[in-house]
Structure 1
Amino acid sequence: MEKEVLQHHLNMNRRRFLSKLSLGVGSVALGSLLIPDLFGSKDHQEELLQRLPQFAPKAKRIIYLFQNGAPSQLELFDYKPLLREQFGKDLPASIRMGQRLTGMTAGQTKFPLAGSFYDFAQYGESRAWISDLLPHTAAIADELCIIKSMYTEAINHDPALTFFQTGAQVGNRPSMGAWLSYGLGSENANLPAFCVLLSKGKGNGQGVYSKLWTNGFLDSIHQGVQFSSSENPVLYLNNHESIDKADRRKMLDELAALNDENYKTFGDPEISAKVQQYEMAYRMQTAVPEVTDLSKEPESVIKLYGADCLVPGTYAANCLLARKLSENGVRFVQLYHQGWDSHGNLPGEMRGQCQDTDQASAALVTDLKQRGLLDETLVIWGGEFGRTNYCQGALTKENYGRDHHPRCFSIWMAGGGIKPGVYGETDEYGYNIINNPVHVHDFHATVLHLMGMDHEQLTFKHLGRRYRLTDVAGKVVNDIIKA
């Protein structure tokens, strides 16, 4: 009890000292930036040692292009000519090995193999196989590390998506962006460290929810800030027409004074987090309109991303906005593009999805490289799991669907210290991994490593236990990292 009282008074003394430095709540915000443990408990102060890069980072920022709904690797990156040769034949039991099925195909007695409707060709120095659906992605093959051996335990969308975003299949855990905000903060005091952008494609969609960009048990300042495609990109950010900037400043100062009294009574660090959020919103009133204004982009950039980049809320517009946010110091930009859940009419849905995403994804990588930003920006493209090599439901060469397949799937990464090439391999049926498996925890460990963080050291004590993004597993995949 004495230690708690001492810590409380220590925090209060620091707060009073900083209150002399400037006027009102401005000093509170300044203090929280200069002394991150200002309002923290002893446990939070111990965590301060982790809140800087622990070694030289390969990347400073991340743009994660999440393809929600699980794109089929067999139509995009994992070329399997055997599936065409054996089209319609039953998947051998020796290959399936009784592996888990979803409720959608558990009643099937046959598992007819379905070769891709689309052709493949090899590109780049690595001679990577890339589908005809992705001509723009193929053109940047030498920038990509295509990982063909990703796997997860989750077999349904919500737990699999949650697992990729938070390191756990259940909710209420901090998301990857929140962990990086907590560990590294933002490079720009006028913008959040973690921003979220949403878009919908032409295919069958799966929902995305705010739990995917939650702060979980971390301070709420680390929660992702969602941008919308409306006239006001960040809701409730602008002042009411009857309130000018001076009035807003006065209101925030008075509110900070009330929160100061509240903190003296309760000593809750979340009170200071609220003050920081109010101050961030105040600064964002100037920064957000500028960074979200795409009208000043040159014609060459519009041509690079495609005309859709001028249509708010499209995938192309979000890719361009992600570049602008990233170059302005946002630590983690998360895009979610819905529409990849192709249980039926897969050839048609895949074509539409690729038309939405191929050009803009490649343009983002190209744009970053042209600006000298790719080496310090990690770009990630992929979904929550893969697709089966057999058909779900009726099968024809022109129309088929694929069920969920967590045992092996493909993603790509570019920039940020990643070594271009192809990593991992699946069997000739595209059903099992035969070398270099990469688990979701390994993926998270590698991403944190690229950002200069040891995944075993980036922890937060909650309810008596130290948590981390990789839980109690994960290993860095050093083979895909540049020396």
Structure 2
Amino acid sequence: MCDGHDTLRSNNKDLQEVEKHWDRRHFLTKTSLGIGALALGSLLKTEKAFAKAGDVLANNDPVGSFTRNKLGLPHHMPKAKRIVYLFQSGGPSQLDMFDYKPKLKDMFGQDLPPSVRQGQRLTGMSAQQSSFPIAPSIMDFKQYGESRAWVSELLPHTSKVVDDICFIKSMQTEQINHDPAITFMQTGNQLPGRPSIGAWLSYGLGSDNENLPTFITLITKGQGGQPLYSRLWGNGFLPTEHQGVQFRSGKDPVLYLSDPENYDGNDRRKMLDYLGKLNTLQNDAYGDPEIVARMKQYEMAFRMQTSVPEVTDMSDEPDYIFDMYGEDSREPGTYAANCLMARKLLEKGVKFVQLYHQGWDQHIACPGGVRNKCKQTDQGTAALLQDLKQRGMLEDTLVVWGGEFGRTVYSQGQLTKDNYGRDHHPKAFTMWMAGAGVKKGITYGETDDFSYNVVKDPVHVHDFHATLLHLFGIDHERLTFKHQGRRFRLTDVHGNVVKDLLA
């Protein structure tokens, strides 16, 4: 043991008393069978230690040799190195954006047949209605690109990049209300407490940049709508270093990262080293993995004091980039600015960037509401795809767009020729993916003439998660974590990889 540790022990009677009462687990932790000292000793070089601890050359891999980490990941050759997930919170109306249903124009105001509704669950808002009048979209739809994908007038910028997109029009979820549906989409379970997608990827694959978090969240400022909770990007029961870190617009992108007023920070390195010695003693005594996790967070925060101001500085971006993303991209915290920030973070080696844009919950005045949301997001979304592509990053970056569910074909509330509302609909909605390992310029799945039921190639949320993990080289059935006596995974006990989506 080093002199510093011996000095601490000699001056600390509490630690001396603890050492007298070590049990078998503490003894093993102290010996070569323990991992605490190894973990703490590699805090400053986490990625290098991670690789050395478990590199295995997969010579029997039919695609080619690749390196596995200490968890045996990836299971197969990955197509994706990083992901940006553009989450549209509130439930975007697939009927007004992507799922073109021309036959509805002749059915305006007619009651949706019970044979279509099939007794499906309704929200408390629709359940009070005596009729379910059909509300055809008033948006003009056209086909674009070589793929001839249908896109509405609301998305002029997205319509230019459809040949890079894989539309999934047959998404299905199990939840009909916002909070459990968002939780389900982000964690694979409707109940709070499970790890988020980003946390699972961080746990399974580690980091590509030791100076920034593996998983970062950005939220469009000032949108209102359904609330978002930090548990949506939380670590659940995984070690705490895998939780997402929220970057905010303004002076302090990360809370509590800046030095307090009148503190120059010159002795911070010395303080962290001394704190590390104390925590080494604590870990030797108790073997609690959260001690190691907390130390990793301290060290990351120290490095982020330099890396965060650098990555959030937009002054080096040329005017043509701001023009590509739109005028809003010059204002920190807007959706367009967050899309640009996402590209910068991905360039720096951040593995998972999650954008949240609220306000898609159009129960009344749906045409105006969805038009406004598309105006806020369309250009930034398309620019992100174009920007990644021109930098050669799209081929190994997965881009995902979508919400927690879709909207109903029938109008909630009063229906007029140019106005309607749409309720939540979990049984048929649209998402899209682009980039790493995903087929380009295809539309997968099909709904009925009412965009109410899936009639071809359904994709459940668990299937979507399984496919996402597959693109990162992960078998979703094998990435597990033991908690309270059971092995948990992102897809629970469900999910199948949708191979028809893969390039």
Is the contact between residue 64 and residue 381 of structure 1 (CA under 8 Å) also seen in structure 2? yes
- What is the DSSP-based 3-state SS (H/G/I as helix, E as strand, rest coil) of the residue aligned with 1:335? strand
Does residue 30 in structure 1 map to residue 44 in structure 2? yes
Query: Which of 194, 199, 219 is matched with 1:198 structurally?
Result: 219
- What is the DSSP-based 3-state SS (H/G/I as helix, E as strand, rest coil) of the residue aligned with 1:367? helix
1:176 alignment partner in structure 2:
197
- What is the DSSP-based 3-state SS (H/G/I as helix, E as strand, rest coil) of the residue aligned with 1:379? strand
Partners in 2 of 1:11 and 1:340 — Cα distance?
A: 55
Alpha-carbon offset, residue 13 of structure 1: 6.4
Is the contact between residue 168 and residue 445 of structure 2 (CA under 8 Å) also seen in structure 1? yes
Where do 1:24-423 residues align within 5 Å? 27-30=41-44, 32-36=46-50, 49-50=70-71, 52-200=73-221, 205-420=225-440, 421-423=442-444
Is the contact between residue 330 and residue 337 of structure 2 (CA under 8 Å) also seen in structure 1? yes
Q: What amino acid sits opposite 1:225 in the alignment?
A: V
Partners in 2 of 1:182 and 1:7 — Cα distance?
A: 25
Structure-2 change in CA distance of 1:11 and 1:122 (3 Å): farther
Alpha-carbon offset, residue 245 of structure 1: 3.9
Alpha-carbon offset, residue 413 of structure 1: 0.6
- What is the DSSP-based 3-state SS (H/G/I as helix, E as strand, rest coil) of the residue aligned with 2:392? coil
Matched residue count: 467
Structure-2 change in CA distance of 1:179 and 1:15 (3 Å): closer
Is the contact between residue 200 and residue 338 of structure 1 (CA under 8 Å) also seen in structure 2? no
Structure-2 change in CA distance of 1:11 and 1:38 (3 Å): farther
Is the contact between residue 46 and residue 210 of structure 2 (CA under 8 Å) also seen in structure 1? no
TM-score (norm 2): 0.89
Alpha-carbon offset, residue 94 of structure 1: 1.0
Partners in 2 of 1:298 and 1:350 — Cα distance?
A: 31
1:22 alignment partner in structure 2:
none
Partners in 1 of 2:345 and 2:249 — Cα distance?
A: 15
- What is the DSSP-based 3-state SS (H/G/I as helix, E as strand, rest coil) of the residue aligned with 1:221? helix
Deviates more, 1:366-375 or 1:246-255: 246-255
Alpha-carbon offset, residue 3 of structure 1: 7.0
Partners in 2 of 1:201 and 1:477 — Cα distance?
A: 36
Q: What amino acid sits opposite 2:73 in the alignment?
A: L
Alpha-carbon offset, residue 257 of structure 1: 1.5
- What is the DSSP-based 3-state SS (H/G/I as helix, E as strand, rest coil) of the residue aligned with 2:121? coil
Partners in 2 of 1:3 and 1:99 — Cα distance?
A: 57
Q: What amino acid sits opposite 1:464 in the alignment?
A: G
Q: Which has the larger radius of gyration?
A: 2
Alpha-carbon offset, residue 244 of structure 1: 3.0
Is the contact between residue 200 and residue 339 of structure 1 (CA under 8 Å) also seen in structure 2? no
> Any idea what the Cα deviations from partners look like across 1:63-106, whole Å, max 9, x if unmatched?
00000000000000000112221010000111111111000010
Partners in 2 of 1:361 and 1:402 — Cα distance?
A: 24
Partners in 1 of 2:322 and 2:45 — Cα distance?
A: 41
Q: What amino acid sits opposite 1:307 in the alignment?
A: E
Structure-2 change in CA distance of 1:400 and 1:200 (3 Å): farther
Q: What amino acid sits opposite 1:229 in the alignment?
A: S
> Any idea what the Cα deviations from partners look like across 1:363-382, whole Å, max 9, x if unmatched?
00000000000001000000
Partners in 2 of 1:11 and 1:307 — Cα distance?
A: 58
- What is the DSSP-based 3-state SS (H/G/I as helix, E as strand, rest coil) of the residue aligned with 1:323? helix
When the two chains are superposed, the root-mean-square deviation of aligned CA atoms in Å is: 2.1
Alpha-carbon offset, residue 201 of structure 1: 6.6
TM-score (norm 1): 0.93
- What is the DSSP-based 3-state SS (H/G/I as helix, E as strand, rest coil) of the residue aligned with 2:272? helix
Is the contact between residue 171 and residue 430 of structure 2 (CA under 8 Å) also seen in structure 1? yes
Structure-2 change in CA distance of 1:147 and 1:253 (3 Å): same
2:8 alignment partner in structure 1:
none
Q: What amino acid sits opposite 1:100 in the alignment?
A: R
Partners in 1 of 2:230 and 2:413 — Cα distance?
A: 33
- What is the DSSP-based 3-state SS (H/G/I as helix, E as strand, rest coil) of the residue aligned with 1:150? strand
> Any idea what the Cα deviations from partners look like across 1:23-68, whole Å, max 9, x if unmatched?
xx7x4413644445999xxxxxxx9743632211111000000000
> Any idea what the Cα deviations from partners look like across 1:168-222, whole Å, max 9, x if unmatched?
00001000000000001111010000000001576x6111100101100000000
- What is the DSSP-based 3-state SS (H/G/I as helix, E as strand, rest coil) of the residue aligned with 1:300? helix
- What is the DSSP-based 3-state SS (H/G/I as helix, E as strand, rest coil) of the residue aligned with 1:259? helix
- What is the DSSP-based 3-state SS (H/G/I as helix, E as strand, rest coil) of the residue aligned with 2:316? coil
Partners in 2 of 1:152 and 1:411 — Cα distance?
A: 12
Alpha-carbon offset, residue 4 of structure 1: 3.5
Does residue 9 in structure 1 map to residue 23 in structure 2? no
Partners in 2 of 1:201 and 1:133 — Cα distance?
A: 22
Does residue 479 in structure 1 map to residue 500 in structure 2? yes
Is the contact between residue 67 and residue 381 of structure 1 (CA under 8 Å) also seen in structure 2? yes
- What is the DSSP-based 3-state SS (H/G/I as helix, E as strand, rest coil) of the residue aligned with 1:290? helix
Q: Give the percent of matched residue pairs that are identical in Structure 1 and Structure 2.
A: 60
Q: What amino acid sits opposite 1:205 in the alignment?
A: G
Partners in 1 of 2:491 and 2:44 — Cα distance?
A: 32
1:436 alignment partner in structure 2:
457
2:60 alignment partner in structure 1:
none
> Any idea what the Cα deviations from partners look like across 1:345-367, whole Å, max 9, x if unmatched?
11111111000000000000000
- What is the DSSP-based 3-state SS (H/G/I as helix, E as strand, rest coil) of the residue aligned with 2:407? strand
Q: What amino acid sits opposite 1:228 in the alignment?
A: R
Structure-2 change in CA distance of 1:84 and 1:106 (3 Å): same
- What is the DSSP-based 3-state SS (H/G/I as helix, E as strand, rest coil) of the residue aligned with 1:148? strand
2:13 alignment partner in structure 1:
none
- What is the DSSP-based 3-state SS (H/G/I as helix, E as strand, rest coil) of the residue aligned with 2:482? strand
